[in-house]
Amino acid sequence: MSYPVTVATCALNQWALDFDGNYDRICQSIIESKRRGATLRVGSELEIPGYGCYDHFLENDTALHSWQVLVKLLSNKDLHDILIDTGMPVIHKNNRYNCRVFILNGKVIFIRPKLYMANDGNYRELRWFRPWEKRLQVEKFILPKIVQDITNQTTVMFGDALIDTADTCIGVELCEELFTPESPHIAMSLDGAEIILNSSGSHHELRKLSRRIELIREATLKSGGVYLYANQQGCDGDRLYYDGSAMVLCNGDVLAIGKQFSVKDVDVVVATVDLDDVRVFRTSKSSRGIQASNSSSYPRIETPFSLGNPKLQNSLPLICPTPPKAQLGLHTPEQEINLGPACWLWDYLRRSGTGGFFLPLSGGIDSCATAMIVYSMCNLVVEATQSGDEQVISDVRRVTETPESENYIPSDPRELANRIFHTCYLGTSNSGTETRERAKALAEAIGSYHTDLNMDTVVESILSLFKLVTGKQPKYQVYGGSATENLALQNIQARLRMLLSYLFASLLSWVRGRSKSLLVLGSANVDECLRGYLTKYDCSSADINPIGGISKTDLRSYIQYSSKHFSFLCLEDFLNATPTAELVPTTEGYVQSDEIEMGMTYSELSAFGRLRKVGMCGPYYMFRKLACKWGGYYTPAEIAQKVKRFFFYYSINRHKMTTITPAYHAESYSPDDNRFDLRPFLYNAKWTMQFREIDEAVKNYTLTDQVSTLQPAF
């Protein structure tokens, strides 16, 4: 029989290398945990320096400053009487490890290095850390002098062990370790660990949270036990958004879960658990018992501290009869698009020291989605200021350059948008009135500071200069010009938009009597980047892009969702319009259209994108997969042609990904060349051997060369 235990886990908005800010947020979370009765508090992975320090982990400075922060945590008496699990890099025997450091009442009690590193996609932990390979072994670690001086300890145990308190047993499973086939929670649970702590640095991807929950549910359904999941939250200086969702589970049930998206800096999730539930769950399973009696024994770190609270013994039924199952509140992908990039933008804005955003607003879906995300950000910020969040209030005043003395607290998202969000329609003679009107209507709906201009004179003066120097005048194709002339004429307009955007972004605040410049927002989506259907260094070259990791299909669904969610009727017009660049004159016989020009639909592009990156397919395997998937609709020869066309355009345009604007990472098939999808950018676009193999394969498909009218599955 044990006393009820109140545990706390948290999501902290850490910022890489912001040691002072990170310390403050850690302290706040511990004090909040104590206030709510917790005796155990777990924080996110590498929370002291911040998860996203990347190559700064190679600097000794990062380890040194982490120890200095730990010394401050150890010396702070307000943080006593609670077992604290915090995270930092630790160098042991000249190897750097990604560690959990346990502290209690001013002493270090144990250091647990990570066993299995995250090293795929955005993760490169093996570049900075070594995995601890000595399973179920510990060694003595000599504490740095600054720690020895305040704790009067010389050494502490370091390695793969469990912590025995006076009333229970605790084990650590560090982020990626949960995702491995041989997750440590299995051996630890069999050896009696009743509470498993998982500290994560896990970023958002559309549709990903449910995977985490499923894994933890399954872990605790099979092994029983209490599972505390902590995660970082927010943008810590990169394209990633860490999506919080700290949670507590017991025997397969979610007892409590924090917000996935929030502009709050510190989110503490607390639950009171009955360890007897774990004991009953485990002892009632005979097969588990047989495995447990044969399991290997972990070294134990002993502490006389008790987690249980005798005062709760009699009130437990009142506190958690069986603890109430939290509403999971899982978001749809459309809600994730609405909230994730919005929180990321807010962190980026307040941390960059700039005064707002500038967006070239075309009247098309993509820049409309970017605008709606900024509007969603304004809604989140207003919600937080109205609930009295001091941090958000002070950030808003700084960003808007409003003196403290004015006591500005935004109460209307449109009013806030008008202060910080600037949209601009940059028209030419090729622009249609519909796009111009749509841009204006949207700006009105969201309250942005909107400018509408015509830049024909600038385009013409550039062309006059060209004519003066070369004596030649390029013509559009519809007027008899060549494809080369046609492209050059389009690209002048596209690039001038970028130039004007940066000019307005640096001076619009000044025009309005303020001084800070604005961040230029981009709106190139993941599919057009993949196909290279954009002009290098045009408006795709912005400072940051909230939708660069999102597919056109998801963006359309997002606009559909927003039109209902925000009750903006004007968004319907965006959905009904044909996507067009409006870079060439419209004539009776010709209207520029994205999908026709690209030679493929946006849905096809998403399918190619997923198979290329997630399915790890080169041209030949992509053809084979699609021949199965689309076989009933297209002939093998048509599929072959589509695959070859995709790879041709992908490879001739790959160079554009080397300079693409940093975008919010949202999609597992992102082609971002800078961090996520490392590839050559000078290809032989003929793919001779690969395409030959596809052609050979097409011949073998002749017997099944039947098509139906079924829609292909994307």
Ligand X SMILES: Nc1ncnc2c1ncn2[C@@H]1O[C@H](COP(=O)(O)OP(=O)(O)OC[C@H]2O[C@@H]([n+]3cccc(C(=O)O)c3)[C@H](O)[C@@H]2O)[C@@H](O)[C@H]1O
Ligand Y SMILES: NC(=O)CC[C@H](N)C(=O)O
Q: Of 513, 239, 519, which Cα lies nearest the Cα of 360? A: 519
Q: Are 234 and 22 in contact (CB under 8 A)?
A: no
Q: Which residue is nearest to ligand ATP (CB)?
A: 364
| 370 forms part of the interface with ligand X (CB under 6 A) | no
Of the pair 213, 570, the CB lying nearest ligand Y is at 213
Out of 10, 47, 99, 114, the active site residue is: 114
CA distance 457 to 676: 41
Verify whether residue 588 is a known catalytic residue: no
Of the pair 120, 597, the CB lying nearest ligand ATP is at 597
For residue 227, the minimal CB distance to ligand Y (Å) is: 15
Burial of 93 (0-12, 13-18, 19+ CB in 10 A): exposed
The DSSP-derived string for 318-386 is HH-SSPPPPP--PPPHHHHHHHHHHHHHHHHHHHHT---EEEE--SSHHHHHHHHHHHHHHHHHHHHHH
The only residue of 270, 349, 445, 539 in contact with ligand ATP, by rule CB under 6 A: 539
The only residue of 538, 543, 667, 672 in contact with ligand X, by rule CB under 6 A: 538
Q: Are 205 and 610 in contact (CB under 8 A)?
A: no
Verify whether residue 27 is a known catalytic residue: no
Out of 202, 362, 367, 563, the active site residue is: 362
For residue 575 the two structure tokens come to 């959905």
| 534 forms part of the interface with ligand X (CB under 6 A) | yes
Which parts of 309-368 interact with ligand Y (CB under 6 A)? Answer: none
Place of tokens 């501290």: 305
For residue 527, the minimal CB distance to ligand ATP (Å) is: 10
Could you tell which of ligand ATP, ligand Y, ligand X, none binds residue 201, using a CB distance below 5 to 8 A set by kind? ligand Y
Which parts of 104-133 interact with ligand Y (CB under 6 A)? Answer: 118, 123
Whole-Å CA distances, 359 to 145, 261, 439, 543: 52, 23, 11, 10
For residue 654, the minimal CB distance to ligand X (Å) is: 7
Out of 53, 99, 175, 343, the active site residue is: 175
For residue 530, the minimal CB distance to ligand ATP (Å) is: 13
CA distance 346 to 611: 33
| 536 forms part of the interface with ligand X (CB under 6 A) | yes
Backbone angles phi, psi at 159, to 5 degrees: 145, -150
| 47 forms part of the interface with ligand Y (CB under 6 A) | no
CA distance 63 to 46: 11
Of the pair 2, 362, the CB lying nearest ligand X is at 362
The only residue of 56, 655, 675, 679 in contact with ligand X, by rule CB under 6 A: 655
Out of 33, 45, 176, 368, the active site residue is: 45
Q: Of 51, 141, 127, 124, which Cα lies nearest the Cα of 89? A: 51
For residue 446, the minimal CB distance to ligand ATP (Å) is: 15
DSSP β-ladder status, 83-92 and 40-42: parallel
CA distance 103 to 47: 14
Place of tokens 């009218």: 709
Verify whether residue 45 is a known catalytic residue: yes
Which parts of 423-442 interact with ligand ATP (CB under 6 A)? Answer: 425-427, 431
| 54 forms part of the interface with ligand Y (CB under 6 A) | no
- Among the listed ranges 196-204, 252-260, 453-461, 509-517, the one in contact with ligand Y (CB under 6 A) is 196-204
Give residue 304's region: left, alpha or beta (phi > 0; psi -120 to 50): alpha
DSSP β-ladder status, 449-454 and 519-520: unpaired
The only residue of 12, 247, 365, 494 in contact with ligand X, by rule CB under 6 A: 494
The DSSP-derived string for 116-172 is S---STT--GGGT------TT-EEEEEPPHHHHHHH--SEEEEES-EEE-SS-EEEE
| 200 forms part of the interface with ligand Y (CB under 6 A) | yes
| 361 forms part of the interface with ligand ATP (CB under 6 A) | yes
For residue 122, the minimal CB distance to ligand Y (Å) is: 8
Which parts of 233-292 interact with ligand X (CB under 6 A)? Answer: none
Length of the chain: 714
- Among the listed ranges 67-75, 194-202, 346-354, 474-482, the one in contact with ligand Y (CB under 6 A) is 194-202
Q: Are 443 and 437 in contact (CB under 8 A)?
A: no
Interface contacts to ligand Y, rule CB under 6 A: 45, 118, 123, 175-176, 179, 200-202
The residues annotated as belonging to the active site are 45, 114, 175, 362
Interface contacts to ligand ATP, rule CB under 6 A: 360-362, 364-367, 425-427, 431, 497, 523-524, 528, 534, 539, 579, 581
